[in-house]
Structure formats: structure tokens, C-alpha cells
Amino acid sequence: MRAAAIRAPTLLQAQRWAGTATAALAFASCAVSGELGPAMLALFPLALIISLVGGDKLRGRWQWAWSTLLGGALLVFAVQVFAGHVDIVLAAAWFVELLCIHRLWQRGTERDELLLLLLSLLLLCAGAALAAELTFGFAFLGFAVTGTWALALTHLRFAIEAGRGEAGSAALLNSRRIATPALLGGLALLSTLAIAGAALVFFSFPRVTIGGWRRASRPSPVAGLGDRVDLAQHGTIEDDPRVVLRVRLDPPPRGDPESLAMHWRARALSHWTGQGWRSDGGGIIPARRLPTRTHHGHPPSLLTADVEVVGAFSDGVVLTPQGWPLSVEFRRPGSARAGSQRLYRNASGDLFYQPVDGNDLRYVVVVDGVEPDLPAMRGRGRRYPPWLAPDLEVPQALNPRVRALAQRLGGGKDPADAAAAIEHWLATALRYTRELPEGESRDPIADFLFVRRAGHCELFSSAMVVMLRSLGIPARNVTGYFGGRRTDAGYYVVRAGDAHSWVEAWFPEVGFVRFDPTPASARGSRQEGLWARAVLLWDGLQQRWRTFVVDYDLLSQAQAIRRAGQILNQAGRRLAGTGGSGRLRTAAVAMAAALAAAALLAGVRRLRPRAGRGRGPALSPDQCRALRLWRAARGRLRRAGFQVPPGTTARDLARRFPAVGETADAYAAARWGGAALTPRQARAALRRLDETLKRVAPDGGP
Amino acid sequence: MTPAWKRRLAFTRMGRWYTGLTVAIGLAATNTGNNLLFLVLGLLLSSIIVSGLLSEQSLKGVSVERRLPSVATAGQPALVGLLARNGKRRAPSFSLEVREARGDVAGHGFLVLLPARQSAEVAYRFVPQRRGVHRFRQIELATRAPFGFFEKSRPMDAEAELVVFPREVAPAPVEARAPGREGDRPEDRAGIGLEVHLLRDHRPGEDARSIHWRSSARAGRLIGIDREQERRKRVCVLLDQRGLRGEPLERAVEQAAALVVREIDSGAEVSLALAGQSLAAGAGDGQRHAALRMLALVEACGGDEAPPEPEAGASVLEVRG
């Protein structure tokens, strides 16, 4: 107990720390948006450290410099906003950040502290306008707790100062017995109440928005699916656990497996660069309708994939699940409403959209999941249309050993069998590794096939493409992702570490068919460690945050209200005995009875002590009687025509009208002197007063 | 009587800003449809609600009793105690301001914490600027807890009166209008004193010091002596307040009070004669209290009031306005 008292901060320290923490968390809520810019991002922590080190020494210093800086900043930001260079919300956030820093350096009076808290609140609002990430949610929760501390402790500090004066309050403000862990814990509990209330208000506040001035989100950072593959890189491929896709499949995969074995196609790369592949480079055109599939003798097996692509990884490419894409429909994330994007495609059949912002994209892809088997591909001949020329192009400096190997594996065979043979040989004869060869290799494919005999998926697919082309079979390298990991939130995630590469070979009347020479066990991400689980957990939280908070709209609200109504209705029917099992009904009735009894008991307990509560100091029966006697006497005097101004004391009245003397004495003795006044005495006094008043006239006085 | 549920609510400066900001954020959230702004709005609104509930919890179940000083003199500080008791079973009350309301006296005390089922006393000092009755009407229990957005107060009837004695001044040199004998004066009855009341036969068992030896020698038997009962110096302070108003009346009352105090302190029996009322002679603290109280309550009166009647046989010290 003693140790705890020593460890606790003084009230003054706790109040200042809480204010500082509140400002810091408000800044964090803005900073997580990533839009503040490096200068403003670094400025606040630096200023905070200086304010912590400098303390009161900074107070009142460089006022002219501050005035100039803030005035200048306001001017510059305003000009930038009017010129259209800076968004007004961002400019406001910058300016509020500067004001916050100024106030952090100038703390002393109650006004300073309250201004700091109000500015922190404005900074939080700016964060709400700038950021939509889950990290904002954590900053918001922290702000709610520290803000509660700061508000309560600031109030307490200045109430003590006002109530006791500067000298009298010093001991209390520097006492370590006030801002104890118990008080801070209680205030934290209070903040959870406020957060619960916030949640209630949030979900029930009608979402009838005017939508007059909604800020667009930040532009997209471009990363992820490039139009180039370089095989000459060295080092180790990191198994990146960051989430790229969130997928819901309809119908769901059979057996609801933990891992999904599915290829997610992004782009086809046809041109050999000598060290890797690059895309065709041709233009893209709007794709109002996707190409129809050549009939292959089987009924289509439709698979609908509701895909949400994390903005930072999409790079404008539509990822489709394995199969023949039949339709792509864009949606708004977390909503059933249609999105505003248009679908484009290039000559290679890759699908694109125009990324208008950096937010995630959601689309629904319907594919025909049936892929042609080997017999369906056999016997289609070798007549290829001219547009396949790029996919038949053999690298000029192709190592003869590669050509010889291709001939050995597929020479003289039907193209389909040749492709299957090469795929099988690569998958079984070579080893998968993420270790890239040290030093630059002039011929990475030959090096992979004959020297190292081990490599990653791009080497496997590249080797197969080159070998197929050397046999005169059109083929191309395809990039995308392989796999999918089930989450607790009921969807599959494809992670950056699932990046993969495979092959598409063309067969007359069939089209491009997927081959994957990488050993099946090595495809996709194999990371299952703590970090990967944490990333999955974080992604699940982010999804819930987005679904229940960021994208909560009138439609969601209506659904939630309907659901609540259904639950109430169901409960009502069960209680009424028209539904549910007998045991459930009994439990529900028992619970309702227990609740009613508890409410009744609480009501009785509340009412019982009420008689003596809330009326100031309790009067004894004699004092009450004295009060009634005095009021009655004044009433009689007024009725008899005597002027009794309000506020006339008993002594005043007795002096002016001696006839009231006896009553006044009895009143004063009982009301203030602790003397007894029985009902009989009170009645007798009034009776005598009546008799006296009958004898005297008001003008003459008694 | 003020009902127990009655509350007064006032915005603090912080509260005004906070509420204004809440409204502004509400408008911004409605306009933009930004859900995170709705979240911030929810936090602000629920903080206001929590603040209201907790401030009510702080005020509820607390009773206050005023403790007035036994003597108060104009121009001199007096201490008024306010005894607050938290009648709640478990919940403590925070940040309570106890203050006078609607009466003649303004004063307040501050309690940081009033634990459940406990009492605490705060006191405030006030300097009465005038003599006479000071009325206390209500005690207000106010709190800005927990956040200082609003000040919620609960008025409680607590009527009381405090009679403030006249200001203490140095007594002016006043000559006795009907000078009595200085010092103690004999009364015409036997008692304790120095003067001889009568001589009589000595009674057996009487103290030998009561024998008048010279008379005994002359008479040839033991003659006893009865002494004259002596009484104290008697002073009547006379103040004719008829026609006096305002400052002259106050000065006269203060002079009369100073004379009363001086004479009582010197051991005299003092009576007080005012127009329309009088106080019989007496000595000691009780008489001082009664005389000062009477002077404290002196009011201006017209010429139809009966003139002051000085006590017969007493030195009359008349105070003129």
C-alpha cells in the first residue's frame, strides 16, 4: 500500500501526462493515415520530446516567433488550398498540429490545458477524415481513455486551485495520494462506459447523410503485380505474410479446407528479355463482354468468387480464379452497391481496371471452373494463328542443351503430351528452392536446368515456356498467386508470399491451358509461424473494422435493426409459448422473473432511504412544528391586515407587533434553541394570537 | 420548500466549447457520411451523458448542515462551518462545492472527495460589513465533476439568522449627564461591604471579626456589626436614536456599543436605554451579549417613539448622533 502510494504520480504530473498522451494519440490518429507528409510527421514527436524535456521553461518564450509562425502557416496553407495543391482537410490537420505543438509548449493555466484538449479533439476529427484504417480505431480507443483521464484530472486540478487558492492547493496538487492507480483505473472504467455509449450512438444514429462534402481518399501507392519478371535476381525470396486478396467462394470449396489450392491469374508475359519476361506492351481496351469459351463437351461448372483486393497490391490488375472468366462485376467494399470502375482487357486476355484511389477494390468474378483434360487437348494439330507469334518466339541465345532436353522430353509427341511430359519432368526431376543463385547468371534457365537443378516458381515456368516454344508450341509465362488460407472471419486470404508463376500453352480450338511445372508441395506460401498468424488475425480485425465501422451505412443499419427486431420477436414468441422448446421457454420465463424481482428489489432499496435523503439537514418534529407555527402566524397577521414583508425575522416581527411575541418566542426556542414544542402548545399559541388579533386593529397596532 | 429533485445546470466555458464542437462534428458527420466522424460524435455525446450521470451521483445523498459562530462582529472575520455528509452506501462524491445561496452572506467551501457514509467539514470566512441580522436562506451543493463541462447544483433550504454586533470602535470621551457616585455604592440593606449598616447584639457562633469592639467596650457586652451591602457602579448608556438615520445612526450605535463594552469590562453594571426599548442593568458576559444584540438590532425610528428612559440612580452616558 505504501509502495503503491510512492509509485503513484502526483496529481499535477498525472494531469500533465494525461494531456500530453491525449495530444499524442490524437496526432497518432492522423499520422496513421500516412497523409501528413514526412516533415509534419516528424515535427510532432520532436516537439513533444522537447516539451517533455523543457517543461515549464518553454512557457511564455518566443511568443512573437510563434505568432509569426502560426500566422504564416495559416497564410501558406490557405493559399495552397485555394490553389488546389492541398486538400482542405489535410491543411486543417497541419494547422491544428501546429496549434497543438504551440499549446504543448505553453501549458500553465486552465485555459491552456483545455485548449490543448480541444485541439487534440480537432486533430482526432482530422484523423477521422483522413484515415480509415484499423490503427485509427486503436488510436481512438487510446484517445478515449487518456482523454477521460485528462478531462477529469484537469477539472480536479483547477477545481482544487480555485477552491483552495494557490497556497492551499499546493500540498494537494503535489500529493501522490490522489492520482492513485485506483482513481486512474476508475476513470479508465468510466472511459469504457463512454466508449460503449459511443458504440451505441454510432450504431443507432440515423445514417441519413447529405453527402455534400465527402473527401476523396488518398491516391494509390503502386506496388505488387508488375509487368516484368527478372530471373537474374539473387538472394532469398521472403515469404511475405501480408494479405493481398480476401475471397469468398460460392459454392464454398468441398470440405471447407484450411488451405485453398487455387491459381489466381494476374498477367501473361510473352516477351523474353534474355533475363526474364515482360508483358506484350499493347494497349488495353474496354471489355464490355468477355470472350466466350469454346465448347469443350462438358457442362459449365460455375464458381463465383467475391474478391476484395488490397489496394496496395492490385496495381489495376483484376485477379481471376482458375478457370475461364465469364463475367466481372465491380462492387463497393463492404456494400452490395455497384462500384464505379470499368473493366479493360489487353491482347493477352489480362483484365484491368482504372484505380481511382488507393482503397481496396471488390469485384465478383464468375468463372467456368472446368479445365480441359489431356484427351481434350490431344490431336488438335499445330496450326496456330498469326497473333500467337510472340508466344512462339524462341530466345535467340537459347542454350542448345535446353533445346535438346525439350526434344528428348517432347519431341515427336502430340503438343498436349509434350507439354504434360515437360511439366511432369520439371515437377519431379528438379527441386524447389527460394534461395536465388549468387552472382549474375547469363543464362538463368540453363543454369537452373543443368547446374543448380533447383529454383523458384518463375524458373520452373520460364524453363517450361522456353522448352515448349523450342518445340513449336505456343506458350507464355503467367504471374499471379496460388493458394488461400481460411480465416476465422469466414473468408480466405491470399498473401503476398503466395505469389506464383506458371505456364499457359495454346492448343487449337481449346485456347490457352494452364500448366504448372512447379512441384505441387512448393507452391504458394508455406509460412505458418506466429508472425503469419498475427498478420491473419490483424487482417481479420481490419475486415471487421471495415465491415462494422467504416462501411456501416443506412443499408447496414436497416439490416441491423431488422435483425434486432427478429431477435426480439423470436424471444417474444418463445416467452409467449408459441415457439421454442419447453426447456428454453422455462429458462426464459425464469430469467424474466429473476430480472423483474431484481428490479423490484432495487426499487424498494432506492425508495426506502429516500425519506431522509436529499432535503438538506433533517429537522426534528419540534422544528417542523415550529416552522408550521411560524408560517401560520404570518398568514394570520397578513389576513388581519398587517404588513409582513418577506424576510422579516421572528424577532423583527415580535418587536413590531408585540402580540406575536409569544408565538415568536415559541418558534425561536423550538426552531433554533432545541426547545420542545408540542402540538398542543402550538395550537394554544395560535389560539391566543387569534384572540389578540381580534382585539387590535392593524392601523393602530396591537 | 425546495424539492429534493430540483437541479440547476449551467455551462462552463469548456462545456460551451465542447458542446459547440459536438454539434459541429455532428453536422460534419451527417454531411459527409464519414463513419469515423460518427464514432467521434458518439464518444462526445456519451461523454456528456456519462458526465451528467456522474455529477448527479455526486450530488445525490449528500446533506449539508451550517454551523454559525456564536458571536460575529461587523468588520471582523467570522468563520461559518459547513458540515457535509455523504449518506450513500457505497458511492463517494467528488469535487463538491458547498456554497451559500440567496442569503445575505456569500461564502463557499470545496471538498475534493467525500467518501461514502462519511462527513467532512469545510469552513469559509466572511467579514460582515454591517451590524444586524444576516439571513441565510439556502445552501447550494454544486459539482463540475467529472469533466468540468457543466456545473450542476442542488439547492437545499437551510434558513438561519446570525445577529452581527456593531463594529468595535474606541469609545469617545463622554461625560455623565447625571453623574452617579464613582465606584461602588452602598445599598440600604445588610450585606457584604465596608460601610456599617447597623450595630446589634453579637450572636453566639458568629465570626469574631464581626464584633464591633469599641461599642462592645462601651456597652459592656459583645456588640456585633452588620455591614452595608455595596453594589457596583451603575451606568446607563443612553442612545436616543430618534431622528437618526444612515451613517450617524451607525456611528452612534457603534459608540454606544463601545461604551457598553468598556463599562462592563471595568466591572460596572450597565443598563441600556434606547428610544422605545431598554435593557435592565446587569454585568458580565451575559449582559454584554444582550446589550450588543439589542444595539445590533437598533433601527431608525420616528419621533413618535417613546424617548429613552435612563435608569434612576445610574450614571447616564448619553451618546449623541
Best CA proximity match to B98, nearest among B52, B139, B59: B139
- The sign of the CA dihedral A8, A9, A10, A15 is negative
Nearest by CB to residue B35, choosing from A151, A212, A550, is A550
Residue A261, CB-side half-sphere exposure with 13 Å CA sphere:
9
B110/A159 CB distance under 8 A: yes
Distance from CA of A553 to the nearest CA of B (A): 8
pLDDT tier, A631 (very low <50, low <70, confident <90, very high otherwise): confident
Task: Assess whether the previous peptide bond of B146 is cis (omega < 30° from 0).
Answer: yes
Of chain A residues 363-382, which have a CB less than 8 A from chain B?
none
In the structure, what pLDDT confidence band is assigned to residue A601 with cuts at 50, 70 and 90? confident
Tell me the Ramachandran region of residue B218: left when phi exceeds 0, alpha when psi lies from -120 to 50, beta otherwise: alpha
Q: Do B42 and A202 touch (CB under 8 A)?
A: yes
Q: What is residue A670's predicted lDDT score, i.e. its pLDDT?
A: 83
Residue B285's nearest CA partner among B71, B128, B68, B69 is B71
Positions of chain B with pLDDT under 50 = 181
Min Cα distance A10 → chain B (Å) is 15
Q: Which residues of B are less than 8 Å from A213 in CB distance?
A: 31-32
Average pLDDT of chain A? Answer: 82
Q: Residue A628: closest CA among chain B residues belongs to which residue?
A: B1
Sign (positive or negative) of CA dihedral A404, A409, A411, A415? negative
* Residue among A198, A612, A616 whose CB faces B158 most closely: A616
Kindly identify which residue of chain A lies nearest to residue B18, measuring between CA atoms. Answer: A118
pLDDT tens per residue, range A543-560? 778 778 887 877 778 888
Asked if B35 and A200 come within 8 Å (Cβ–Cβ), the reply is: no
Which of A114, A617, A652 is nearest residue B65 as measured by Cβ atoms?
Answer: A617
Q: How far apart are the first and last CA of chain B?
A: 43
Give the integer Cα–Cα distance in Å for B19 and B39. 16
The reply to whether A17 touches chain B by the CB within 8 Å rule is no
What's the pLDDT band for A616 if we cut at 50, 70, 90? very low
CA–CA gap between residue B215 and residue B228 (Å, rounded):
17
Pairing verdict, β A454-455 and A431-432: parallel
Mean pLDDT for the stretch of residues A408-426? 92
pLDDT over 70 (residue A437): no
Would the pLDDT of A2 be above 50? Answer: no
Q: Which residues pair with A37 in a beta bridge?
A: none
Query: Are B127 and B77 contacting, i.e. CB atoms less than 8 angstroms apart?
Result: yes
Q: Taking CA atoms, what residue in B is nearest to A193?
A: B50
8 Å CB contact of A128 and B18: no
What length does chain A have? 702
Lowest mean pLDDT among A119-128, A215-224, B139-148, B286-295: A215-224
- Residue A121 sits at the chain B interface (C-beta within 8 Å): yes
The reported pLDDT for the residue numbered A3 is 44
Between these two residues, A486 and A293, which has the higher pLDDT value?
Answer: A486
- Least confident stretch, A329-343, A373-387, B306-320: A329-343
Distance from CA of A627 to the nearest CA of B (A): 11
- Mean pLDDT across A26-55: 91
CA distance, residue A5 to nearest chain B CA (Å):
17
Q: Which of B37, B66, B97 faces A125 most closely, judged by CB atoms?
A: B37
Residues within 8 A of B (CB atoms), A 526-555 only: 549-553
Q: What is the DSSP string of A434-449?
A: SEEPSS--S-HHHIII
> How far is the CA of A420 from the CAs of A369, A481, A516, in angstroms?
20, 22, 10
Q: Do A613 and B63 touch (CB under 8 A)?
A: yes
Which single residue is written with the C-alpha cell 492522423? A30
| Pairing state between β B196-201 and B185-190 | unpaired
Name residue B11's amino acid.
F
| Residue-wise pLDDT tens digits, A133-169 | 889 999 999 999 999 999 999 999 998 888 777 777 8
Interface test with B, best of A125, A161, A630, A699 (most B CBs within 10 A): A125
pLDDT higher than 60, residue A700? no
In this structure, the dihedral spanned by the alpha carbons of residues B23, B28, B34 and B35, taken in order and rounded to 10 degrees, is 0
Q: Do A129 and B37 touch (CB under 8 A)?
A: yes
Q: Distance between CA B84 and CA B96 in Å, rounded? A: 10
**Measured distance CA(A360)–CA(A308) in Å, rounded:** 7
Peptide bond into A333 cis (omega under 30): no
Compare CB distances from A125 to B25, B47, B297 and report the shortest one's residue. B25
pLDDT of B34 reads: 87
Q: Which residues of B touch A154 (CB under 8 A)?
A: 148
More confident residue, A52 or A293: A52
Phi, psi values for residue B198, rounded to 5°: -160, 160
- Contact across the interface for B110 and A163, Cβ inside 8 Å: yes
pLDDT of A613 over the 60 cut: no
More confident residue, B237 or A311: B237
Q: How many helices (H) and strands (E) does chain B have?
A: 5, 16
Q: Would you call B148 and A199 a contact, using CB atoms and an 8 Å cutoff?
A: no
Spatial contact of A243 and A310, defined as CB atoms under 8 Å apart: yes
**How is residue A492 written as a grid cell?**
480466405
- Cα–Cα distance between A173 and A179 in angstroms, integer? 9
Nearest chain B CA: its distance from A684 CA (Å): 25
**A649 at interface of B, judged by CB pairs closer than 8 A:** yes
**Is residue A170 within 8 angstroms of chain B, CB to CB?**
no
d(CA A633, CA A274): 116
Task: Check pLDDT > 60 for residue A570.
Answer: yes
Residue A212, φ and ψ in degrees, nearest 5:
-75, -35
So what's the pLDDT on residue B256? 93
C-alpha cell at A264: 489466381
Whether pLDDT at A222 is above 50? no
Q: Do A617 and B158 touch (CB under 8 A)?
A: yes
User: Residue A15 pLDDT more than 90?
Assistant: yes
**What is the nearest CA distance from A640 to chain B, expressed in angstroms?**
23
